[in-house]
Structure 1
Amino acid sequence: MQALDESALTHVAAYFRALSEPTRLRILNTLRNGEKNVGQITELTSLGQANVSKHLALLFESGLVTRSAQGTAVFYAIADQATFDLCDMVCGNVARIVERQFSNTNSLRKQLGKLSR
Protein backbone atom coordinates (compact mmCIF):
# COMPACT_ATOMS: atom_id res chain seq x y z
CA MET A 1 0.00 0.00 0.00
CA GLN A 2 2.93 2.31 0.59
CA ALA A 3 3.54 2.85 -3.12
CA LEU A 4 -0.09 3.69 -3.98
CA ASP A 5 -1.02 7.21 -5.01
CA GLU A 6 -4.24 8.96 -3.96
CA SER A 7 -6.17 7.71 -6.99
CA ALA A 8 -5.24 4.10 -6.31
CA LEU A 9 -6.07 4.47 -2.60
CA THR A 10 -9.48 5.87 -3.57
CA HIS A 11 -10.13 2.73 -5.66
CA VAL A 12 -9.03 0.48 -2.81
CA ALA A 13 -11.32 2.33 -0.40
CA ALA A 14 -14.26 1.96 -2.84
CA TYR A 15 -13.57 -1.79 -3.05
CA PHE A 16 -13.67 -2.14 0.73
CA ARG A 17 -16.72 0.13 0.94
CA ALA A 18 -18.55 -2.25 -1.42
CA LEU A 19 -17.64 -5.12 0.90
CA SER A 20 -18.64 -3.24 4.05
CA GLU A 21 -22.40 -3.80 3.69
CA PRO A 22 -23.76 -7.06 5.19
CA THR A 23 -26.45 -7.33 2.50
CA ARG A 24 -23.82 -7.22 -0.25
CA LEU A 25 -21.80 -9.88 1.56
CA ARG A 26 -24.91 -12.09 1.69
CA ILE A 27 -25.42 -11.56 -2.03
CA LEU A 28 -21.78 -12.37 -2.80
CA ASN A 29 -22.04 -15.51 -0.68
CA THR A 30 -24.87 -16.78 -2.89
CA LEU A 31 -22.46 -16.61 -5.84
CA ARG A 32 -19.92 -18.97 -4.25
CA ASN A 33 -21.42 -21.94 -6.09
CA GLY A 34 -21.74 -20.24 -9.46
CA GLU A 35 -23.66 -17.59 -11.31
CA LYS A 36 -27.24 -16.75 -10.46
CA ASN A 37 -29.93 -14.42 -11.73
CA VAL A 38 -31.67 -11.77 -9.63
CA GLY A 39 -34.64 -14.05 -8.93
CA GLN A 40 -32.41 -16.83 -7.62
CA ILE A 41 -30.43 -14.41 -5.44
CA THR A 42 -33.66 -12.89 -4.14
CA GLU A 43 -34.96 -16.33 -3.20
CA LEU A 44 -31.69 -17.40 -1.52
CA THR A 45 -31.32 -14.19 0.51
CA SER A 46 -35.01 -13.52 1.27
CA LEU A 47 -34.39 -9.91 0.20
CA GLY A 48 -36.63 -7.87 -2.07
CA GLN A 49 -35.92 -7.83 -5.79
CA ALA A 50 -35.38 -4.07 -5.90
CA ASN A 51 -32.96 -4.26 -2.97
CA VAL A 52 -30.98 -7.10 -4.58
CA SER A 53 -30.85 -5.25 -7.91
CA LYS A 54 -29.59 -2.08 -6.24
CA HIS A 55 -26.80 -3.92 -4.44
CA LEU A 56 -25.86 -5.93 -7.54
CA ALA A 57 -25.53 -2.69 -9.50
CA LEU A 58 -23.08 -1.35 -6.92
CA LEU A 59 -21.15 -4.64 -6.85
CA PHE A 60 -20.95 -4.55 -10.65
CA GLU A 61 -19.77 -0.92 -10.68
CA SER A 62 -17.13 -1.84 -8.11
CA GLY A 63 -15.89 -4.69 -10.30
CA LEU A 64 -16.75 -7.39 -7.77
CA VAL A 65 -19.28 -9.18 -9.98
CA THR A 66 -19.76 -9.70 -13.70
CA ARG A 67 -23.07 -9.93 -15.47
CA SER A 68 -24.16 -11.64 -18.64
CA ALA A 69 -27.47 -11.79 -20.47
CA GLN A 70 -28.87 -15.24 -21.14
CA GLY A 71 -32.11 -14.84 -23.01
CA THR A 72 -34.27 -12.46 -21.01
CA ALA A 73 -32.41 -13.08 -17.74
CA VAL A 74 -29.25 -11.41 -16.46
CA PHE A 75 -26.87 -13.65 -14.56
CA TYR A 76 -24.31 -12.44 -12.05
CA ALA A 77 -21.06 -14.15 -11.09
CA ILE A 78 -18.13 -13.31 -8.88
CA ALA A 79 -15.51 -11.47 -10.92
CA ASP A 80 -12.49 -12.85 -9.09
CA GLN A 81 -12.12 -15.79 -6.69
CA ALA A 82 -9.68 -13.65 -4.70
CA THR A 83 -12.71 -11.76 -3.33
CA PHE A 84 -13.85 -14.92 -1.53
CA ASP A 85 -10.28 -15.59 -0.39
CA LEU A 86 -10.14 -12.10 1.11
CA CYS A 87 -13.54 -12.47 2.79
CA ASP A 88 -12.54 -15.86 4.23
CA MET A 89 -9.30 -14.40 5.56
CA VAL A 90 -11.14 -11.45 7.14
CA CYS A 91 -13.77 -13.77 8.66
CA GLY A 92 -11.01 -15.87 10.23
CA ASN A 93 -9.37 -12.74 11.60
CA VAL A 94 -12.67 -11.45 13.01
CA ALA A 95 -13.29 -14.83 14.67
CA ARG A 96 -9.86 -14.66 16.34
CA ILE A 97 -10.56 -11.09 17.54
CA VAL A 98 -13.92 -12.12 19.01
CA GLU A 99 -12.31 -15.13 20.71
CA ARG A 100 -9.63 -12.89 22.24
CA GLN A 101 -12.22 -10.38 23.42
CA PHE A 102 -14.36 -13.16 24.89
CA SER A 103 -11.32 -14.64 26.63
CA ASN A 104 -10.32 -11.23 27.99
CA THR A 105 -13.87 -10.58 29.19
CA ASN A 106 -14.03 -13.93 30.98
CA SER A 107 -10.63 -13.31 32.56
CA LEU A 108 -11.77 -9.88 33.75
CA ARG A 109 -14.99 -11.34 35.17
CA LYS A 110 -13.00 -13.93 37.12
CA GLN A 111 -10.70 -11.24 38.51
CA LEU A 112 -13.63 -9.03 39.46
CA GLY A 113 -15.39 -11.99 41.03
CA LYS A 114 -12.39 -12.62 43.28
CA LEU A 115 -12.38 -8.95 44.34
CA SER A 116 -16.06 -8.92 45.26
CA ARG A 117 -15.79 -11.90 47.63
Structure 2
Amino acid sequence: MDSQLFQEIEMLHQRICQALGDPKRLMILYLLNQRPRNVGELALELETPQPTISHHLKILRERSLVKMRKEGTIAYYTLADVRVIEALDLLRSILRDSIAVQAQLAEFSALKAEQNDTE
Protein backbone atom coordinates (compact mmCIF):
# COMPACT_ATOMS: atom_id res chain seq x y z
CA MET A 1 0.00 0.00 0.00
CA ASP A 2 1.47 3.36 -0.90
CA SER A 3 2.12 5.84 1.90
CA GLN A 4 -0.39 8.43 0.68
CA LEU A 5 -3.21 5.87 0.68
CA PHE A 6 -2.09 4.61 4.10
CA GLN A 7 -2.14 8.17 5.50
CA GLU A 8 -5.60 8.78 4.08
CA ILE A 9 -6.90 5.55 5.61
CA GLU A 10 -5.36 6.48 8.98
CA MET A 11 -7.01 9.91 8.86
CA LEU A 12 -10.42 8.41 7.98
CA HIS A 13 -9.99 5.80 10.72
CA GLN A 14 -9.31 8.53 13.27
CA ARG A 15 -12.32 10.58 12.13
CA ILE A 16 -14.63 7.56 12.31
CA CYS A 17 -13.35 6.61 15.77
CA GLN A 18 -13.97 10.18 16.96
CA ALA A 19 -17.53 10.00 15.64
CA LEU A 20 -18.08 6.65 17.37
CA GLY A 21 -16.76 8.03 20.65
CA ASP A 22 -20.10 9.59 21.57
CA PRO A 23 -22.70 7.29 23.21
CA LYS A 24 -25.62 9.17 21.65
CA ARG A 25 -24.18 8.64 18.16
CA LEU A 26 -23.78 4.94 18.89
CA MET A 27 -27.45 4.78 19.91
CA ILE A 28 -28.40 6.56 16.68
CA LEU A 29 -26.48 3.99 14.63
CA TYR A 30 -28.14 1.08 16.42
CA LEU A 31 -31.59 2.61 15.90
CA LEU A 32 -30.86 3.18 12.21
CA ASN A 33 -29.80 -0.45 11.96
CA GLN A 34 -33.42 -1.38 12.78
CA ARG A 35 -34.99 0.88 10.14
CA PRO A 36 -34.66 4.33 8.52
CA ARG A 37 -35.71 7.21 10.75
CA ASN A 38 -36.11 10.96 10.53
CA VAL A 39 -34.69 13.49 12.97
CA GLY A 40 -37.97 13.84 14.85
CA GLU A 41 -38.28 10.09 15.40
CA LEU A 42 -34.71 9.85 16.66
CA ALA A 43 -35.20 12.85 18.97
CA LEU A 44 -38.34 11.28 20.42
CA GLU A 45 -36.84 7.81 20.87
CA LEU A 46 -33.62 9.13 22.40
CA GLU A 47 -35.36 11.83 24.45
CA THR A 48 -32.91 14.36 23.05
CA PRO A 49 -33.58 17.80 21.55
CA GLN A 50 -33.95 17.77 17.77
CA PRO A 51 -31.05 20.23 17.19
CA THR A 52 -28.74 17.91 19.14
CA ILE A 53 -29.79 14.92 17.03
CA SER A 54 -29.30 16.99 13.86
CA HIS A 55 -25.78 17.84 15.00
CA HIS A 56 -24.96 14.18 15.64
CA LEU A 57 -26.39 13.18 12.26
CA LYS A 58 -24.29 15.85 10.56
CA ILE A 59 -21.14 14.36 12.09
CA LEU A 60 -22.18 10.83 11.14
CA ARG A 61 -22.90 11.96 7.57
CA GLU A 62 -19.56 13.78 7.30
CA ARG A 63 -17.87 10.52 8.32
CA SER A 64 -19.94 8.57 5.75
CA LEU A 65 -21.52 6.45 8.47
CA VAL A 66 -25.10 7.42 7.59
CA LYS A 67 -26.90 8.45 4.42
CA MET A 68 -29.86 10.76 4.02
CA ARG A 69 -32.71 10.56 1.54
CA LYS A 70 -35.58 12.98 1.19
CA GLU A 71 -39.23 12.06 0.90
CA GLY A 72 -40.95 15.34 0.19
CA THR A 73 -39.87 17.66 2.98
CA ILE A 74 -38.81 14.91 5.37
CA ALA A 75 -35.23 13.62 5.49
CA TYR A 76 -34.76 9.97 6.41
CA TYR A 77 -31.47 8.57 7.62
CA THR A 78 -30.08 5.09 7.09
CA LEU A 79 -26.79 3.36 7.74
CA ALA A 80 -24.32 3.90 4.93
CA ASP A 81 -22.89 0.42 5.50
CA VAL A 82 -24.33 -2.18 7.88
CA ARG A 83 -20.82 -3.53 8.50
CA VAL A 84 -20.32 -0.66 10.94
CA ILE A 85 -22.80 -2.42 13.27
CA GLU A 86 -20.89 -5.68 12.83
CA ALA A 87 -17.68 -3.85 13.78
CA LEU A 88 -19.35 -2.25 16.81
CA ASP A 89 -20.76 -5.61 17.91
CA LEU A 90 -17.32 -7.21 17.59
CA LEU A 91 -15.79 -4.44 19.68
CA ARG A 92 -18.50 -4.82 22.32
CA SER A 93 -17.86 -8.56 22.43
CA ILE A 94 -14.15 -7.95 23.00
CA LEU A 95 -14.96 -5.44 25.75
CA ARG A 96 -17.37 -7.88 27.45
CA ASP A 97 -14.64 -10.54 27.44
CA SER A 98 -12.17 -8.05 28.88
CA ILE A 99 -14.58 -7.07 31.66
CA ALA A 100 -15.16 -10.75 32.48
CA VAL A 101 -11.42 -11.36 32.74
CA GLN A 102 -11.01 -8.30 34.98
CA ALA A 103 -13.83 -9.54 37.23
CA GLN A 104 -12.17 -12.96 37.50
CA LEU A 105 -8.84 -11.34 38.38
CA ALA A 106 -10.50 -9.18 41.03
CA GLU A 107 -12.21 -12.24 42.49
CA PHE A 108 -8.92 -14.16 42.49
CA SER A 109 -7.14 -11.24 44.19
CA ALA A 110 -9.85 -11.04 46.85
CA LEU A 111 -9.59 -14.79 47.54
CA LYS A 112 -5.80 -14.56 47.70
CA ALA A 113 -6.00 -11.65 50.15
CA GLU A 114 -8.51 -13.59 52.23
CA GLN A 115 -6.16 -16.60 52.33
CA ASN A 116 -3.25 -14.39 53.37
CA ASP A 117 -5.34 -12.90 56.19
CA THR A 118 -6.19 -16.36 57.58
CA GLU A 119 -2.58 -17.57 57.56
Aligned residue pair count: 117
Percentage of pairs with the same residue: 24
Say yes or no: does 1:111 pair with 2:112: yes
d(CA) in 1 for partners of 2:111, 2:46: 41
Post-superposition shift, 1:27? Answer: 0.9
Give 1:33 shift: 1.2
More helix by share: 2
- The aligned residue for residue 43 of structure 2 is 42
Unaligned 5+ runs, structure 2: none
* Aligned-residue offset at 1:7: 2.3
- Using the size of structure 1 for normalisation, the TM-score is 0.93
Q: Does 1:14 align with 2:15?
A: yes
How far apart are the structure 1 equivalents of 2:46 and 2:100?
Answer: 28
SS in 2 for 1:31: helix
RMSD: 1.7
1:23-53 deviation per Cα after TM superposition (whole angstroms, max 9, x unaligned): 1001111111110000111111111111111
Distance between the aligned counterparts of 2:67 and 2:40, measured in 1?
16
| Structure 1, unpaired ranges of 5+ | none
Give the alignment of 1:1-117 within 5 angstroms: 5-117=6-118
Question: After the TM superposition, which parts of structure 1 deviate over 6 Å for at least 4 consecutive aligned residues?
Answer: none
SS at match of 2:33: coil
